[in-house]
Amino acid sequence: MHSEHRFSDLTESLKSGFLLDDIVLALARAGKGETLDNSDRLLLEKAVSLLQSAEAGYHWLDKPELTSETNSSATFFARAVNAMPSVYANEAFLEKVSELKAIAEELSSGRSVPAPDKIHQLQTFFYNTSQSELERTEGLLSGEGGADILKWTVMDE
């Protein structure tokens, strides 16, 4: 059965997964006390952007407007919620994201090095997110979800 997703959904999922894997690797280096090079710092800047995107996705309901960024921020908000299985309340979520963002910002700026447990916390978050993205990729490869091609006729919806 030909899968019902758009090819670009799959490539986007893979791209996002590769980025998350590289962020996890950069954080592993930081956690082991290695000096971060420019490419690692760039990755951590992207980590900050992703966390900002999760915050934007969270706030969408407060002021529902559409932009070309709406989908990606809603998606990363969902990924972030999934990556924090023990967080249930809105305030706790925002607090946690803000905390993670501060750690990522500190690392990317290179001004100081956060405590190892903080780095580990950030690494766990991004690892959980990367696993969730891997599941999405595998779902798309097996033809589940993300249906986006023309369905003039629907076979199995």
Partner 1 sequence: MDSYGRIAALKIETAQDRAHALIEEVRRVENKVYASPGSSCVLTFVSDAADRIAALLEGQKAITSAGLLTPSQIETRLHRITNLIPLLHQLLGFVEGSDVHRSPAQLIPTLRRYTQSILPGSEIVVSSKSELNYSIQDIARPLADLFKGTPLEASCALLPDLLFMMSIPGVESGKVLIHGVLSHELGHAIYNKKEVAKELLPKIDFKEDLVKGLVKTMFENQAKQGNPTPEVRLRKQVTQEITTRVNSWIKELCSDAIGIRLFGPALFFAAAHLLVSFRPIDKCSDTHPPSRLRVKLMIRMLKQLYPVEKWRGELQSFIKAWDEVSGDPVSTANAYDQVALETINEAALDLISDASASATSLAQCYSSDQFSRDTRDLAPLLLHDIPPGETGPYGHGAAVTLASVINAGWHVYLCDFEAFRKRLHSNDSATRFTTAAKLHELVLKALEISGIRVSWEEARGDSKRGKN
Pick from 3, 124, 15: nearest CA to 72: 15
Contact partners, residue 100, CB within 8 Å, separation at least 6:
51, 121, 122, 125
Sole binder of partner 1 in the list 100, 107, 108, 130 (CB under 8 A): 130
In the complex, least distance from residue 70 CB atom to partner 1, rounded to whole angstroms: 5
- CB under 8 A: which stretch of 26-34, 45-53, 99-107, 108-116 binds partner 1? 26-34
CA dist 149 → 42, 82, 134, 157 (Å): 35, 27, 22, 12
Ramachandran area for residue 23 (φ above 0: left; ψ -120 to 50: alpha; else beta): alpha
Q: In this complex, which beta carbon is closest to partner 1, that of residue 22 or of residue 106?
A: 22
Contact partners, residue 77, CB within 8 Å, separation at least 6:
53, 54, 55, 56, 57, 58, 60
Site string for partner 1, 59-88 (x = CB under 8 A): -xx-xxxxxx-xx--xx-xx--x-----xx
Sole binder of partner 1 in the list 33, 35, 38, 90 (CB under 8 A): 90
The CA distance from 25 to 123, in Å, is 9
Q: In this complex, which beta carbon is closest to partner 1, that of residue 21 or of residue 105?
A: 21
Residues that bind partner 1 (CB under 8 A): 1-4, 6-8, 10-12, 14-15, 17-18, 21, 24-25, 28-29, 32, 57-58, 60-61, 63-68, 70-71, 74-75, 77-78, 81, 87-90, 92-93, 127, 130-131, 134, 137-138, 141, 146-155, 157
